[in-house]
Amino acid sequence: MKLVVSKIAKLQDSFFKLKPNGSHEASIFLDSDIVKKIDLEAGVKLVLKIDFDNIYKGLCFAYSFPKDLYKEKEIYNRDFKWFSEKSKLIEKLFNNSTTIDYSIETKLQSGNRFYLIKLKTKVGFNIRDLIIENYTKLLFKRDDDGNNWLFLDYSLESTEDTESIEDTDIDYSIQQKIFYGAPGTGKSYKVDGIVKELDEKYKERITFHPEFDYASFVGCYKPISEYNEDKREYEIQYKFVAQSFTKIYKRAWLDLDNHYYLVIEEINRGNCAEIFGDIFQLLDRGSNYTVSPSKELKEYLEGKDGFNNKNHKGIINGLKLPPNISILATMNTSDQSLFPMDSAFKRRWDWEYIPINYDEKNADGKDNISHNYKVKLSDDKTFKWIDFIKNVNSRIEANKNLGMDKCIGNYFIKPKKTEISLDEFVNKAIFYLWSDVFKDEEDNSIFNIKDKENVTYGNFFPINDKASKLIELILEELEVKVTEKSEE
């Protein structure tokens, strides 16, 4: 997405004025230069995409603005009741969507004066109600598909300058994406395809888990053993030890000519609110917001181990993600996360679902390697792994208590070649299906085997003696063909 042009809101554009006045405007004025850059035509309905997070942030800014604001000659009361009513209006407008189309009309008056009019929607929302004179900037952007976007940007520093910007130093080819799907679908493989050829200095890779916290992600003071030349002995010193986020943050800022990646595996297994802490706001990419770092992090980044410069872009006005860093994450939808992600966190990511593939070819035209996997029941009997996961997943999806999140992906088991041993199948597939999927399901369970009562995971042991027979009964129930050696 590229910034096409921007405009500081003036008195005639703004609902909130800085001084008492007698204006009754209900439109937004655009000069001829802006009109030309965004290809507007008078009398033509203009559709601009708007973002929920951005609009809601505008409401919060207007509500918390520290100065008196006026509507005509009276101070406008921005109390909590006003905030609550506007908040409900915004939620009604977006109706659980993250982005919507905002349709307005255009009008050309004498002197080539161009206006955006009829800004109020059917539900009563008017974007102009969030605009503050000289403190709100309108950003007109365009994405790769040619869609026009309108964003509101805010600053507590007033400016009188109207600016037209054709581009910014932000590279919108960066990604901030979560790859999600059932276990074994190849989410990490997808990420590997993006970063595997990179030199290690261009990437940091971590895995979230329940014990992972802010200190593990950003850094903290730790005791470090350092050699004292004068005393000729090692001493314990307490130093700020940077972790993955701070390391990649520093390296990316110091090398803006190269693309850097932070990879987070199993992001939903950690407490994202605790791990990201205040830097959660940095995920709102493309905005001008910064986050004030802790005293310890600030001193580290300003010091010799960081930027060695108090006036560096990455610290002078607070923390702000550099324009050359992508954040990629994976999420296993079958995991029952101890710390569910809230909607505000989710909205700051792009999402890509990695589906299970039962065909011989992948979407990119390459061979689906798992299509050739076979499970060895005995020296004489095998069955196709792809047939098994297809049929057992159909059973799982049909169960309202389970759904597709509990399905088994193509690479849930990854044999060294193409043959899955009986031990692997029992210890991985059967164990997962018993403990995480069907254990508490009385109906439609694959472990409800005809003429067998109370089949449990323990009944598959010893594997060499018992597993093969029970698995054949399960395969018969699932209508998965067992192939004997003579048939191959």
Q: What is the pLDDT along the chain (488 residues), one digit of tens a residue?
A: 888 888 888 887 888 888 887 666 788 888 776 777 777 777 778 889 999 999 988 898 888 888 888 887 788 888 888 888 999 999 999 998 999 999 988 887 644 567 888 888 999 999 999 999 888 999 999 888 889 999 998 876 554 433 333 333 444 368 899 999 999 999 999 999 999 888 899 999 999 999 999 999 999 999 988 888 888 888 888 999 999 999 999 999 998 878 899 999 999 999 999 999 989 989 988 677 789 999 999 999 999 999 999 999 899 999 999 988 999 999 998 875 567 888 889 989 999 999 999 999 988 888 999 999 999 999 999 999 999 999 999 999 998 888 888 999 999 999 999 999 999 999 999 999 999 999 888 778 999 887 777 789 999 999 999 999 999 999 999 999 999 987 66
In a shared domain, residues 392 and 312: no
Please check whether residue 121 lies inside any domain of the structure: yes
CA atoms within 13 A on the CB side of 57: 18
Q: How far apart are CA 115 and CA 365, in angstroms?
A: 50
In a shared domain, residues 12 and 139: yes
In a shared domain, residues 301 and 373: no
Burial letters 139-170, b for 16+ CB under 10 A, else e: bbbbeeeeebbbbbbbeeeeeeeeeeeeeeeb
In a shared domain, residues 236 and 347: yes
Please count the other Cβ atoms lying within 10 Å of the Cβ belonging to residue 390. Answer: 16
Residue 171: predicted pLDDT: 41
In a shared domain, residues 200 and 333: yes
Please check whether residue 171 lies inside any domain of the structure: no
Residue 157: predicted pLDDT: 58
Please check whether residue 470 lies inside any domain of the structure: yes
Give me the number of domains the chain comprises. Answer: 3
Please check whether residue 199 lies inside any domain of the structure: yes
- Residue 352 exposed, middle or buried by CB count within 10 Å (0-12, 13-18, 19+): middle
Three-state SS letters, the chain: CEEEEEEECCHHHCCEECCCCCCCCCCEEECHHHHHHCCCCCCCCEEEEEEHHHHHHHHHHHHHCCCCCEECCEECCCCHHHHHHHHHHHHHHHCCCCEEEEEEEEEEECCCEEEEECCECCCCCEHHHHCECCCEEEEEEECCCCCEEEEEEECCCCCCCCCCCCCCCCCCCCCEEEEEECCCCCHHHHHHHHHCCCCHHHEEEEECCCCCCHHHHCEEEEEEEEEECCCCEEEEEEEEEECHHHHHHHHHHCCCCCCEEEEEECHHHCCHHHHHHHHHHHHCCCCCCCECCCHHHHHHHHCCCCCCCCCCCCCECEECCCCCEEEEEEEECCCCCCCCCCHHHHHCCEEEECCCCCCCECCCCCECHHHHCEEECCCCEEEEHHHHHHHHHHHHHHCCCCCHHHCCCCCCCCCCCCEECHHHHHHHHHHHHHHHHHCCCCCCCCCCCCCCCCCCHHHHCCHHHHHHHHHHHHHHHHCCCEEEHHHC
Please check whether residue 95 lies inside any domain of the structure: yes
Residue indicated by tokens 């060895």: 376
In a shared domain, residues 230 and 373: no
Please check whether residue 185 lies inside any domain of the structure: yes
Are 325 and 261 a contacting pair, CB within 8 Å? yes
In a shared domain, residues 134 and 192: no
Domain finish residue from 121, 154, 187: 154
Are 10 and 29 a contacting pair, CB within 8 Å? yes
Please check whether residue 167 lies inside any domain of the structure: no
Q: What residues contact residue 373 under an 8 Å CB cut-off, 6+ apart?
A: 384, 385, 386, 413, 415, 418, 419, 420
Q: How far apart are CA 410 and CA 260, in angstroms?
A: 30
In terms of DSSP bridges, do strands 99-109 and 46-51 run parallel, antiparallel, or are they unpaired?
antiparallel
In a shared domain, residues 381 and 457: yes
Range(s) of the domain holding residue 56? 2-154
In a shared domain, residues 285 and 329: yes
In a shared domain, residues 89 and 181: no
Q: Give me the CATH number covering residue 234.
A: 3.40.50
Please check whether residue 169 lies inside any domain of the structure: no
Residue 164: predicted pLDDT: 32
In a shared domain, residues 393 and 463: yes
Domain finish residue from 323, 353, 383: 353
In a shared domain, residues 311 and 343: yes
Residue 162: predicted pLDDT: 34
Domain finish residue from 324, 353, 382: 353
